[in-house]
Protein backbone atom coordinates (compact mmCIF):
# COMPACT_ATOMS: atom_id res chain seq x y z
CA UNK A 1 0.00 0.00 0.00
CA UNK A 2 2.88 2.33 0.84
CA UNK A 3 4.25 1.79 -2.61
CA UNK A 4 0.94 2.61 -4.22
CA UNK A 5 0.52 5.75 -2.18
CA UNK A 6 3.94 6.97 -3.19
CA UNK A 7 3.41 6.53 -6.88
CA UNK A 8 -0.24 7.08 -7.60
CA UNK A 9 -1.11 10.69 -6.77
CA UNK A 10 0.60 12.47 -9.70
CA UNK A 11 -1.01 10.08 -12.16
CA UNK A 12 -4.53 10.28 -10.74
CA UNK A 13 -4.28 14.05 -10.29
CA UNK A 14 -4.04 14.37 -14.05
CA UNK A 15 -6.63 11.72 -14.72
CA UNK A 16 -9.35 12.97 -12.42
CA UNK A 17 -11.00 16.00 -14.02
CA UNK A 18 -11.17 19.18 -11.89
CA UNK A 19 -14.95 18.96 -11.94
CA UNK A 20 -14.72 15.73 -9.91
CA UNK A 21 -12.12 17.12 -7.56
CA UNK A 22 -14.34 20.17 -7.05
CA UNK A 23 -17.51 18.14 -6.53
CA UNK A 24 -19.08 19.20 -3.24
CA UNK A 25 -22.80 18.81 -3.88
CA UNK A 26 -23.66 15.41 -5.38
CA UNK A 27 -26.35 15.09 -2.70
CA UNK A 28 -28.25 17.97 -4.35
CA UNK A 29 -28.78 15.73 -7.37
CA UNK A 30 -30.27 13.09 -5.06
CA UNK A 31 -32.46 15.77 -3.54
CA UNK A 32 -33.74 16.83 -6.95
CA UNK A 33 -34.58 13.22 -7.87
CA UNK A 34 -36.27 12.75 -4.53
CA UNK A 35 -38.40 15.85 -5.21
CA UNK A 36 -39.47 14.25 -8.47
CA UNK A 37 -39.97 10.69 -7.29
CA UNK A 38 -41.80 11.25 -4.02
CA UNK A 39 -45.02 11.80 -5.97
CA UNK A 40 -45.91 8.39 -7.36
CA UNK A 41 -42.74 7.64 -9.28
CA UNK A 42 -41.98 4.94 -6.71
CA UNK A 43 -44.14 2.37 -8.47
CA UNK A 44 -42.05 2.61 -11.61
CA UNK A 45 -39.08 1.55 -9.51
CA UNK A 46 -40.83 -1.70 -8.68
CA UNK A 47 -41.05 -2.63 -12.36
CA UNK A 48 -37.42 -3.75 -12.62
CA UNK A 49 -37.77 -5.85 -9.49
CA UNK A 50 -40.41 -8.15 -10.94
CA UNK A 51 -38.36 -9.56 -13.78
CA UNK A 52 -35.79 -11.40 -11.66
CA UNK A 53 -38.50 -12.12 -9.12
CA UNK A 54 -40.44 -14.17 -11.66
CA UNK A 55 -37.23 -15.95 -12.62
CA UNK A 56 -36.77 -16.79 -8.96
CA UNK A 57 -40.26 -18.18 -8.48
CA UNK A 58 -40.07 -20.15 -11.73
CA UNK A 59 -36.73 -21.57 -10.62
CA UNK A 60 -38.15 -22.58 -7.28
CA UNK A 61 -41.38 -24.08 -8.62
CA UNK A 62 -40.18 -25.25 -12.02
CA UNK A 63 -36.88 -26.27 -13.49
CA UNK A 64 -34.93 -26.05 -10.24
CA UNK A 65 -36.18 -29.48 -9.26
CA UNK A 66 -35.20 -30.98 -12.64
CA UNK A 67 -31.56 -30.04 -12.28
CA UNK A 68 -29.00 -31.76 -10.09
CA UNK A 69 -26.98 -30.09 -7.40
CA UNK A 70 -24.09 -27.90 -8.51
CA UNK A 71 -20.61 -27.70 -7.08
CA UNK A 72 -19.55 -24.27 -5.81
CA UNK A 73 -16.12 -23.91 -4.20
CA UNK A 74 -15.98 -27.60 -3.40
CA UNK A 75 -19.46 -27.56 -1.88
CA UNK A 76 -22.53 -29.21 -3.42
CA UNK A 77 -25.54 -26.90 -3.42
CA UNK A 78 -29.05 -27.20 -4.84
CA UNK A 79 -29.62 -25.48 -8.17
CA UNK A 80 -31.93 -23.00 -6.52
CA UNK A 81 -29.19 -21.94 -4.11
CA UNK A 82 -26.83 -21.75 -7.04
CA UNK A 83 -28.94 -19.52 -9.24
CA UNK A 84 -30.65 -17.21 -6.72
CA UNK A 85 -27.60 -15.05 -5.84
CA UNK A 86 -26.83 -14.74 -9.56
CA UNK A 87 -30.32 -13.41 -10.17
CA UNK A 88 -29.81 -11.01 -7.29
CA UNK A 89 -26.72 -9.68 -9.04
CA UNK A 90 -28.72 -9.30 -12.25
CA UNK A 91 -31.40 -7.43 -10.34
CA UNK A 92 -28.83 -5.02 -8.90
CA UNK A 93 -27.46 -4.52 -12.40
CA UNK A 94 -30.86 -3.93 -13.97
CA UNK A 95 -31.98 -1.46 -11.36
CA UNK A 96 -28.84 0.63 -11.76
CA UNK A 97 -28.67 0.38 -15.56
CA UNK A 98 -32.33 1.23 -16.17
CA UNK A 99 -31.99 4.30 -13.99
CA UNK A 100 -28.87 5.59 -15.70
CA UNK A 101 -30.55 5.49 -19.10
CA UNK A 102 -32.38 8.62 -17.86
CA UNK A 103 -29.03 10.36 -18.01
CA UNK A 104 -29.42 10.73 -21.77
CA UNK A 105 -32.66 12.66 -21.31
CA UNK A 106 -31.26 14.78 -18.52
CA UNK A 107 -28.34 15.71 -20.79
CA UNK A 108 -30.49 16.50 -23.80
CA UNK A 109 -34.26 17.12 -23.85
CA UNK A 110 -34.86 17.78 -20.17
CA UNK A 111 -31.88 20.13 -19.75
CA UNK A 112 -31.67 19.02 -16.12
CA UNK A 113 -27.89 19.13 -16.12
CA UNK A 114 -27.63 22.44 -17.96
CA UNK A 115 -29.58 24.24 -15.27
CA UNK A 116 -27.58 22.51 -12.52
CA UNK A 117 -24.29 23.51 -14.13
CA UNK A 118 -25.26 27.19 -14.16
CA UNK A 119 -25.10 27.05 -10.35
CA UNK A 120 -22.10 26.25 -8.11
CA UNK A 121 -22.62 22.58 -9.02
CA UNK A 122 -19.99 20.95 -11.24
CA UNK A 123 -20.07 18.17 -13.83
CA UNK A 124 -18.54 15.98 -11.10
CA UNK A 125 -21.52 16.66 -8.82
CA UNK A 126 -23.87 15.70 -11.62
CA UNK A 127 -22.04 12.44 -12.37
CA UNK A 128 -21.54 11.37 -8.77
CA UNK A 129 -25.09 12.35 -7.86
CA UNK A 130 -26.63 10.32 -10.64
CA UNK A 131 -24.35 7.34 -10.03
CA UNK A 132 -25.33 7.37 -6.35
CA UNK A 133 -29.00 7.70 -7.25
CA UNK A 134 -28.82 4.74 -9.63
CA UNK A 135 -26.92 2.79 -6.97
CA UNK A 136 -29.75 3.47 -4.55
CA UNK A 137 -32.31 2.30 -7.09
CA UNK A 138 -30.33 -0.88 -7.72
CA UNK A 139 -29.96 -1.27 -3.98
CA UNK A 140 -33.71 -0.99 -3.47
CA UNK A 141 -34.30 -3.73 -6.06
CA UNK A 142 -31.69 -5.87 -4.36
CA UNK A 143 -33.11 -5.37 -0.88
CA UNK A 144 -36.60 -6.37 -1.99
CA UNK A 145 -35.14 -9.29 -3.90
CA UNK A 146 -33.14 -10.41 -0.90
CA UNK A 147 -36.26 -10.44 1.26
CA UNK A 148 -37.99 -12.69 -1.29
CA UNK A 149 -34.95 -14.96 -1.36
CA UNK A 150 -34.97 -15.26 2.41
CA UNK A 151 -38.69 -15.95 2.53
CA UNK A 152 -38.37 -18.65 -0.14
CA UNK A 153 -35.46 -20.18 1.79
CA UNK A 154 -32.84 -19.42 -0.86
CA UNK A 155 -30.35 -17.78 1.45
CA UNK A 156 -28.00 -20.30 3.02
CA UNK A 157 -27.25 -18.71 6.35
CA UNK A 158 -26.80 -15.42 8.15
CA UNK A 159 -23.91 -14.84 5.76
CA UNK A 160 -26.74 -13.87 3.43
CA UNK A 161 -26.78 -10.48 5.14
CA UNK A 162 -23.49 -9.72 3.38
CA UNK A 163 -25.38 -9.94 0.11
CA UNK A 164 -26.90 -6.50 0.69
CA UNK A 165 -23.67 -4.46 0.79
CA UNK A 166 -22.24 -6.70 -1.94
CA UNK A 167 -25.20 -6.11 -4.23
CA UNK A 168 -24.89 -2.38 -3.51
CA UNK A 169 -21.36 -2.66 -4.87
CA UNK A 170 -22.72 -4.42 -7.97
CA UNK A 171 -25.26 -1.60 -8.38
CA UNK A 172 -22.53 0.99 -7.94
CA UNK A 173 -20.38 -0.59 -10.64
CA UNK A 174 -23.27 -0.81 -13.10
CA UNK A 175 -24.51 2.67 -12.22
CA UNK A 176 -21.09 3.91 -13.32
CA UNK A 177 -21.06 1.78 -16.46
CA UNK A 178 -24.64 2.78 -17.31
CA UNK A 179 -23.86 6.46 -16.81
CA UNK A 180 -20.82 6.24 -19.08
CA UNK A 181 -22.82 4.40 -21.75
CA UNK A 182 -25.65 6.94 -21.55
CA UNK A 183 -23.21 9.77 -22.31
CA UNK A 184 -22.39 8.08 -25.62
CA UNK A 185 -26.01 7.69 -26.70
CA UNK A 186 -26.72 10.04 -29.59
CA UNK A 187 -30.42 9.44 -30.16
CA UNK A 188 -33.26 7.32 -28.85
CA UNK A 189 -32.51 4.68 -31.52
CA UNK A 190 -29.17 3.96 -29.84
CA UNK A 191 -31.01 2.56 -26.81
CA UNK A 192 -31.60 -0.59 -28.89
CA UNK A 193 -27.98 -1.58 -28.36
CA UNK A 194 -28.21 -1.57 -24.57
CA UNK A 195 -30.47 -4.64 -24.07
CA UNK A 196 -28.61 -6.30 -26.96
CA UNK A 197 -25.47 -6.11 -24.85
CA UNK A 198 -27.16 -6.83 -21.54
CA UNK A 199 -28.99 -10.02 -22.51
CA UNK A 200 -25.93 -12.11 -23.44
CA UNK A 201 -24.18 -10.78 -20.35
CA UNK A 202 -27.15 -11.88 -18.26
CA UNK A 203 -27.15 -15.36 -19.81
CA UNK A 204 -23.38 -15.96 -20.01
CA UNK A 205 -21.95 -14.72 -16.73
CA UNK A 206 -22.04 -18.09 -14.99
CA UNK A 207 -25.55 -17.05 -14.07
CA UNK A 208 -27.36 -20.28 -14.96
CA UNK A 209 -24.49 -22.74 -15.30
CA UNK A 210 -21.21 -22.94 -13.40
CA UNK A 211 -17.97 -21.41 -14.61
CA UNK A 212 -16.46 -24.87 -15.11
CA UNK A 213 -18.96 -25.62 -17.87
CA UNK A 214 -17.28 -22.93 -20.00
CA UNK A 215 -14.31 -25.32 -20.30
CA UNK A 216 -11.22 -23.77 -21.86
CA UNK A 217 -13.11 -20.51 -22.41
CA UNK A 218 -13.63 -20.00 -18.70
CA UNK A 219 -11.17 -17.06 -18.67
CA UNK A 220 -13.50 -15.13 -20.99
CA UNK A 221 -15.89 -14.80 -18.07
CA UNK A 222 -13.52 -12.31 -16.47
CA UNK A 223 -14.45 -9.80 -19.16
CA UNK A 224 -18.10 -9.86 -18.15
CA UNK A 225 -18.69 -7.25 -15.46
CA UNK A 226 -21.75 -9.15 -14.29
CA UNK A 227 -19.70 -12.30 -13.75
CA UNK A 228 -17.74 -10.58 -10.98
CA UNK A 229 -20.99 -9.67 -9.28
CA UNK A 230 -22.42 -13.16 -9.70
CA UNK A 231 -19.29 -14.90 -8.38
CA UNK A 232 -19.04 -12.51 -5.44
CA UNK A 233 -22.66 -12.90 -4.35
CA UNK A 234 -22.65 -16.64 -4.88
CA UNK A 235 -19.61 -17.14 -2.67
CA UNK A 236 -20.89 -14.84 0.05
CA UNK A 237 -24.30 -16.53 0.13
CA UNK A 238 -22.57 -19.77 1.02
CA UNK A 239 -20.27 -18.12 3.54
CA UNK A 240 -17.26 -18.87 1.34
CA UNK A 241 -14.37 -16.44 1.21
CA UNK A 242 -11.97 -17.64 -1.51
CA UNK A 243 -9.18 -15.18 -2.46
CA UNK A 244 -10.92 -14.59 -5.79
CA UNK A 245 -13.64 -12.53 -4.10
CA UNK A 246 -10.98 -9.88 -3.47
CA UNK A 247 -10.43 -9.69 -7.24
CA UNK A 248 -14.17 -9.38 -7.85
CA UNK A 249 -14.47 -6.51 -5.38
CA UNK A 250 -11.49 -4.69 -6.90
CA UNK A 251 -12.83 -5.16 -10.44
CA UNK A 252 -16.25 -3.80 -9.48
CA UNK A 253 -14.79 -0.76 -7.72
CA UNK A 254 -12.43 -0.14 -10.64
CA UNK A 255 -15.32 -0.30 -13.11
CA UNK A 256 -17.25 2.27 -11.10
CA UNK A 257 -14.22 4.54 -10.71
CA UNK A 258 -13.17 4.50 -14.35
CA UNK A 259 -16.75 4.98 -15.52
CA UNK A 260 -17.21 7.98 -13.25
CA UNK A 261 -14.06 9.65 -14.58
CA UNK A 262 -15.07 8.93 -18.16
CA UNK A 263 -18.61 10.22 -17.57
CA UNK A 264 -17.35 13.47 -16.07
CA UNK A 265 -15.16 14.05 -19.13
CA UNK A 266 -18.10 13.28 -21.41
CA UNK A 267 -20.55 15.56 -19.63
CA UNK A 268 -18.04 18.40 -19.64
CA UNK A 269 -17.44 17.94 -23.33
CA UNK A 270 -21.13 17.83 -24.15
CA UNK A 271 -22.41 20.64 -21.95
CA UNK A 272 -19.48 22.87 -21.08
CA UNK A 273 -18.02 23.54 -24.53
Partner 1 sequence: MSGSEGTAVITAKALTKRFGDFEAVKGTDFEVRAGEAFGFLGPNGAGKSSTMRMIGAVSPVTSGELRIFGLDPADDGRKIRARLGVVPQQDELDEFLTVKDNLVIYGRYFDIPLKACREKAMELLEFVQLADRADSKVQPLSGGMKRRVTIARSLMSDPEILLLDEPTTGLDPQARHVLWDRLYRLKQQGVTLVLTTHYMDEAEQLCDRLVVMDQGEIAAEGSPAELIRTHSPREVLELRFPAGTNAEHAPKVEGVGARQEVLPDRILIYADDGEAALSEVHRRQAVPESALVRRSTLEDVFLRLTGRTLVE
Told to check if 100 binds partner 1 by CB under 8 A, we report no
Q: Which of 77, 80, 107, 116 touches partner 1 by CB under 8 A? A: 116
Residue of 9, 47, 120, 200 that binds partner 1 (CB under 8 A) = 120
Residue 35 binds to partner 1 (criterion: CB under 8 A): yes
Which of 20, 93, 117, 233 touches partner 1 by CB under 8 A? 117
Min CB(271)–partner 1 separation in Å = 8
Q: Find all residues with CB under 8 Å of 68, minimum gap 6, and list them.
A: 79
| Closer residue to partner 1 in complex, CB, 120/165 | 120
DSSP string, the chain: -HHHHHHHHHHHHHHS-HHHHT---HHHHHHHHHHHHTTTTHHHHHHHHHHHHHHHHHHHHTGGGGS--EEETTEEE-HHHHHHHHHHHHHHHHHHHHHHTHHHHHHTTT-HHHHHHTTT--HHHHHHHHHHHHHHHHHHHHHHHHHHHHHTT---SGGGGGHHHHHHHHHHHHHHHHHHHHHH--SGGGGGHHHHHHHHHHHTTTTSS-GGGGGGGGGGGGG-HHHHHHHHHHHHHTT---THHHHHHHHHHHHHHHHHHHHHHHHHHHH--
CB of 137 to partner 1, least distance (A): 16
Among 30-38, 42-50, 162-170, 207-215, which window interacts with partner 1 (CB under 8 A)? 30-38
When binding is defined by CB under 8 A, the residue of 121, 255, 262, 264 that contacts partner 1 is: 121
Q: Does 221 bind partner 1 (CB under 8 A)?
A: no
Out of 162, 211, 249, 271, the residue judged to bind partner 1 by CB under 8 A = 271
Subset of 58-77 contacting partner 1 (CB under 8 A): none
* Residue 110 C-beta: closest distance to partner 1, Å: 7
CB nearer to partner 1: give 31 or 71: 31
Binding site for partner 1 (CB under 8 A): 22, 24-25, 28, 31-32, 35-36, 110-112, 114-122, 271-273
Amino acid sequence: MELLNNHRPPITAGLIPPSLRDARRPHRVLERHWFVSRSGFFWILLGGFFEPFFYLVSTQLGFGSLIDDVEVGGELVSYVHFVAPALLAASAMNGAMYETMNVFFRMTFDKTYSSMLATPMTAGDVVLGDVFWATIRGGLYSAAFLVVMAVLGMTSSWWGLLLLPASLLVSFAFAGVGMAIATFIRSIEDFEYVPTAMLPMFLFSATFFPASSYGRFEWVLNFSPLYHGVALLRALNLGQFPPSIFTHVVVLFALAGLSIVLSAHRIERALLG
